[in-house]
Each structure stands twice: as structure tokens, then as C-alpha cells.
Structure 1
Amino acid sequence: MSKQQSNSPVFPLGEPKTFQDTISGIEGHSSQNGILIGVSSWDKTCKAFLVNSPTQTQIVGSVNCNSPLTSICKVHESQFLVGSLNGGVYLWNVQQNSLQQVGQFNDCITSMKPLLETNSIVISSLDGSLGLLDLNSGNISKMPVNNKVICMDAKYPYITFHTPNKVEVFNIQSGKLMTDTLIGGQQSTINSSVQCIAVFPDRKGIVYGGADGRANVLHFENKSNQYTYAFKAQHKKISTTQTYYYPVNSISFYNETIFLTAGSDGVINIWDKNKKSLVNTLTSPIQNCPITTADFICENKFLAYSVGYDWHQGVEGLLQQQVSVPVIKVVDDPLVRL
């Protein structure tokens, strides 16, 4: 079956030089005035864009930090939480154009995810801890996990995260690791570095993507090959005998069955996990430029992604004229339907 062409509008944000380094995250709020998009970058800045249409986008806020910014999470209307390379956690108020520090970890912040059920945000760090920021009190409670947390996702009651050679699942309600029960010891031990991870919307499993270009679907309740499997997510066939594999940089769910993977090959692939089928493909607007982050945002009405260098080829792979650009695309039926 041939894929349908998605012709929905695309919103490029800013100019090619708006950001001076790799974009680490994009989040958004829907409002009566339009869509408020927050973008964090390794150039130590956060920038906010108000989007009304593909031809009406404007920067409405910009703040600077003393450290590269590594993650972003929406909080309330016109507010975002951002994490930094030096372990700082900051509340960014776009209306007030202010950046207030609300927490400190001992190493880089790797992920931040909201838990609406508890009005809190889960924070992971390379210092070997998970933190829970209570938005009511502003307090952060920390849980040591005895190893660097490279990436993390959370959907109540589960927090899933990757430490070197291991994928873990923590149950917030019980306060216990559930890895052996939900995944199994053999399945949770891995050889490749995991770049990104996501909990199913129905909380029945997880998907994670690695530096080897593969995505792994792990079902908590059914371990058969129909439900728990791995597949090649980001790769290019160079010849009949040679295939290049590229790191999977992002995973995001549209609904319970449809999710995306995005990678260093400059491609966003949209999959149906139940049918094990490719639904659609988007390529980077800049040829051969990696997708550094991709996510469905604003109640999944929009696909937000960024192009730029992701350092998977080291300093040698950096082009002199490399640019970092955030992009918003309206999600239409052809994009996410077989």
C-alpha cells in the first residue's frame, strides 16, 4: 500500500541564524492568541514563538542561561521548565521574560516529563538520580538510581529510564522498581546505547531507540514476538550489500498505536506498532541534516521537530555552514493514517 502525501502547513520558526547551536527541545501551549512554542538550545538560550499561521510567526520572548540548555517541558500557560548542562533547573516565564532557578542537580539534566495526575514533573540527570518537582510547593524530591540516567519518559504511574546497559521501569505508586516483573531481566539488559525512550499511552509497554538505528517495542503483558520485537528504524541502504544505520534521536506517540522515530539520517518515520508497518516518512528540509528532536505537541495537533547537527560523527562531521532550525507541522490524516 502506497503512503498518502501529507500536504498540511509547515511553520519554520525564526531565521537560519536564530539559534547558534543544536536545538535540544521544543514544547508548545495552545491559546486563543495562537500557539506559543518554546525552544531550548545548546547555545544557552530559550526562545518563544507565537504562531498564528505559516506566514505569521514572531519571537515573543528570549532568555539567556549561563549553561547550555539540554531539555524543556511545558508547565502552565506561558511557562516552561528548562534543564541545563550544569544541572540547573529553571522556570521560564515567557510573559515576564524571566528565568528563575528552582532546582540544582550535580550533573547534566537529560529529560523532563510532566505527570498531570500529581501536578509534578519528573527530572532525570547524569548525576545518577531522578527528581520529582512538585508544582504546588516548588520542592524537588530526589531518588538515587546508582548510575547515570541517559534518557527518561514518564506516564503515571510509570517512569522508564535508561542507565548504561540497562532499561528500567519504576512504579511511582508502589515506590519500587518493576523492571524484572514488567520487562524481564534478559530483555532489560542491552548492549547498545539508548538515545530515547517512551511509555505507551495506555501504559502497557515501552519503546526505546538506540545508537544502532533500531527501535525496540517491549510489551509488559505479552512477551510474544507479535507484541515484543525490534526493528530497523533509521537506516539507509547504500548498495545491495551495504546498509548504514543512524542513531534514533527521538520517539513520540501520536496515539496508542501510532508513533514516530526520528534520527541522524535526517528522517522522521511514523509507524503503526500493532501492524508493524511504516505509515509515513518526512525528510529533513535541509539535505542530509539530522533530526535532533521530534515530538507531537499541543494535544498532538502539531509535529514539532528540529534539524541541525547532533554530533553523532564527532567534531569531524560538523559543517562550517551548519544551521539549527525548529519546524512545526500541522498533523493531518494522511500523515498518521495507513
Structure 2
Amino acid sequence: MSYGNRPNTSTSNEAPKDYEVPHGPSDSVSEVSFSPTADFFTVSSWDTSVRIYEANSTTGAAIGKAIYNHEKPVLCCAWSKDGTKVISGGADNAGRCFDITSQQVGQIAVHEQPIKCIKYIENHNLVLTGSWDKTLKYWDMRSATPVLTVNLPERCYALDFTYPVLVVGCAERHVQIYDLSKNPSTPIKSLISPLKWQTRCISTFLNRSGYSSMGNVEGRDCTGYAIGSIEGRVGIQYFEEKDSQSSFSFKCHRENNHVHAVNAISFHPVYGTFSTAGSDGTFNFWDKDSKQRLKGFSSIGGPITSTTFNNNGSIFAYALSYDWSKGFVTQPQKSAVYLHTVKDDDVKPKPPKKR
């Protein structure tokens, strides 16, 4: 494997001029997540709330639609495939589900420690939760007990899946890869991250041809994952090494002698290019295949903690808030969520630059 190739980063930075979502949370944002069916999005926060908004793709504005709460900080949120339910997990060790139609909320999961990650596995109609108690649990929302409990080598820090492949990043740089269609209880690979420092985020990706049609990704090949660390570095990892594609890592979110965490990685649903966002307050769009940065934006003045594209890739949402990288602070900075209108030229793949 080669980790020496770095994307070209010569593209100049542009100051983002984006819309601030009104009535945002009063504390750090843990996750922003778009509905897979419409321009609704959720914002989970350390202020114990999960807020639901509707974005207007024409005007770039947003309005609040609903809010519900956990008993302690909320660490993650996601949507059901049909866009009718919001799921969330938090430091109260509970997973909750909010029904968009009935506006009712109920508990659907429980762990011994905080729930750091949550996903809806539509192929099995189950909710997956990953916790600091070193377990994954699969839940049928009609039952109080998990369908399956999977032990992890360490605390769950990040996970993502493109069915049937699930990738879980744990403390101490452990990475577990599962095939959900065959045996979700036993990893098909147990690895150590190629990055030398703590894992912060993971995002799975398809091969380039898999992004040509939008919608259901079932049946399209998940060919690898991107992993980000606290040391300003991203690893692009392919499950199978081929002549045309080999795993590599590159530096980003660094300024002079300052190294910042990569807090979020999101893949564009149409083009398969991706974004990174970090503690330095910047976000960038990249093309992993041509190994170059497509567009860079200057700092918004504080860490970006979460990012997401809407279902057609025309809106990019990101959260400005304190990311706890400096421990407890008495006066944390402002928390806000912004909507960025995506220009095609900023995210379209480009041919490799001649060296």
C-alpha cells in the first residue's frame, strides 16, 4: 500500500457566504443529517435537543419544524430511509425515535454507556447503535431488547455503512469491517487505522460509476472508506487494491505549525467527490480519484463539527461549534448551522493535473 500520494492543494480559498439556520441550539452541535427523501434535516446538540428543519433549495433558507429532547447531551442523529422517522442517541445511554407524522417520541434503545453513533439499516428494518460501552446493538423498534449485540475491541467513535458493508472506528485506532448481509456479528476484517492518531470520523464510498444515479444505493458496490484523525490527516482505504486505485493518505486542515482535527467527511451523492471539515473552521471539496482539492473555503472562525449533503447534493450543511478539543471551557463559542449552495463546478470530478 502507498500512503505517500497527496492531493494537489494549490486551489485558493474562498470565503463562504452562507445562510445561518435560525433558532439553532444553544450548545455544541454533534451531528447534522439530511433526510434521504426531502430537504428536511436534523441537528443534534449537547443542549439535549434534536431540532428538525425544512430547507428551501430555491432560496437557501430554512424554517424550524419540530424539536424533541433527550435527558442529557445528544451525540448523534439519523433518518429512516423513507424520511418518516428521526432517530438519535445520547449521553443518557438511550436511543430515541421521533415520528414525523404523529410528532411522538419514544425510546427504542439502551446501552450501559453513551450512544455515540446511530444508523437506520433499512435492508433489515433495524436501528444500529454504537456505544462507548464497546458494543454495537441492533434494534427492532417494537422490542425493548436488542436483536443482536456485537462486542467491539474498544469504544465506538465513528461508523458508516453502504449496505452491506459496515465500517466501525473505535478507540485505540481499531477498525472493524462487517458484511451485514452474511454475518453482522463477526467482522470480516479487524484492522488498525493507517493513520497514527485517534480516529474522529469515517465515511464509506462507492466506486465512481455507482454515483451516476441517485436514490437507493442497494446493489451498488461499496469499494472503500475515508477515515479522518485528530492529526489533520485523511486516509482513503480501498477494500481491494487494484492497479487503478490504491489506498493512500494525505494531510489537510493544517496552517503553518498548527495541526487541526478532521471532524467530518461527507461524500457527494451524485459525483462521489467528498468534503472534509475541521477544527480550523474550514471545509474543502476533494476528488480522491484525481488526488486533488477541488475547492477550499477560508475559516468561519471556529471548529466545524459536522457536515452533510442533501439527497441530490445541491445543499451542503455544516455546523460551527466548539468541538471539545481543548477540554471544558467556561465560555464556549457560538453554535450555528449554515447552509451552503453547492456549485457544480466545485464538486465535479476533474482529470488529474499534470505534474
Cα distance in 1 for residues equivalent to 2:135 and 2:144:
18
Structure 1 equivalent of residue 267 of structure 2: 253
- After the TM superposition, which parts of structure 1 deviate over 6 Å for at least 4 consecutive aligned residues? 4-9, 136-139
Amino acid in structure 1 at the alignment position of 2:162: K
Structure 1 counterpart of 2:89: 83
Alignment of 1:3-152 (within 5 A): 10-15=18-23, 18-29=24-35, 35-52=39-56, 53-54=58-59, 56-75=61-80, 76-134=82-140, 140-141=146-147, 142-152=149-159
In structure 2, relative to structure 1, the CA distance for the partners of 1:282 and 1:101 (3 Å cut) is: same
Give per-residue Cα distances to partners, 1:205-262, cap 9 Å, x unaligned: 111000111101111111779521111021112xxxxx21101111111156411111
Which residue of 166, 178, 183 corresponds with 2:188?
Answer: 178
What secondary structure, in the 3-state scheme, does the structure 1 residue paired with 2:156 have?
coil
> Could you tell me how far 1:20 is from its partner in structure 2?
1.4
Aligned-pair CA distance for 1:156: 1.2
Q: CA deviation at 1:35?
A: 2.7
Amino acid at match of 2:325: H
Within 2, Cα distance between the matches of 1:312 and 1:284? 17
Residues 322 and 302 of structure 1: CA distance in aligned 2, closer, same or farther (over 3 Å)? same
**Could you tell me the TM-score, scaled by structure 2's length?**
0.81
Separation in 2 of the partners of 1:161 and 1:227?
A: 21
**Paired position in structure 2 for 1:328:** 339
User: Cα distance, 1:4 vs. partner?
Assistant: 9.3
The unaligned stretches of length 5 or more in structure 2 are 1-7, 207-220, 351-355
Q: CA deviation at 1:8?
A: 10
* Residues 1:192 and 1:224: Cα distance change in structure 2 (over 3 Å): farther
Query: What is the SS of the residue equivalent to 1:70?
Result: strand
Deviation by residue 1:25-49 (Cα, 9 ceiling, x = unmatched): 1122377xx7322211110011122
Distance in 2 between residues matched to 1:55 and 1:110, nearest whole Å: 30
Q: CA RMSD in A?
A: 2.9
Q: Structure 1 44/204 Cα, relative in aligned 2: closer, same or farther at 3 Å?
A: same
Kindly indicate whether residue 176 of structure 2 is the aligned counterpart of residue 168 of structure 1: yes
The aligned residue for residue 270 of structure 1 is 285
Q: Which moved more, 1:219-228 or 1:62-71?
A: 219-228
Q: 1:332 to 1:133 in 2, by over 3 A?
A: farther
Deviations 1:302-337 (A, max 9, x none): 211100110112235x6x371110112232202202
CA contact (8 A) 2:205 2:225 kept: yes
Between 134-143 and 84-93, report the one with greater CA deviation. Answer: 134-143
CA deviations 1:160-201 (Å, max 9, x no partner) are: 112223112112233131215xxxx5x646541100011122
Rounded to whole Å, the distance in 2 between the matches of 1:328 and 1:55 is 7
Structure 1 residues 147, 124: CA separation in 2 closer, same or farther (over 3 Å shift)? same
Does residue 235 of structure 1 match 2:249?
A: no
Query: Structure 1 length normalisation: TM-score?
Result: 0.84
How far the C-alpha of 1:155 sits from its partner, in A, is 1.4
Deviation at 1:94, TM superposition (A): 3.9
Q: Which has the higher contact order (CA 8 A, sep 6+)?
A: 2
Match of 1:305 among 318, 328, 344: 318
Alpha-carbon distance in structure 2 between the residues aligned to 1:7 and 1:189: 32
Tell me the distance in 2 between the aligned counterparts of 1:5 and 1:335: 12
In 1, Cα distance between equivalents of 2:36 and 2:159 = 25
d(CA) in 1 for partners of 2:243 and 2:11?
28
Structure number with the higher strand fraction is: 1
Identity of aligned residues (%): 23
Residues 83 and 109, structure 1, Cα contact 8 Å, conserved in 2? yes
| Structure 1 stretches lacking a partner, 5+ long | 238-242
Name the CA distance, whole Å, in 2 between partners of 1:140 and 1:283.
44
Instruction: Find the counterpart in structure 2 of residue 240 from structure 1.
Output: none
Aligned-partner SS, 1:265: coil
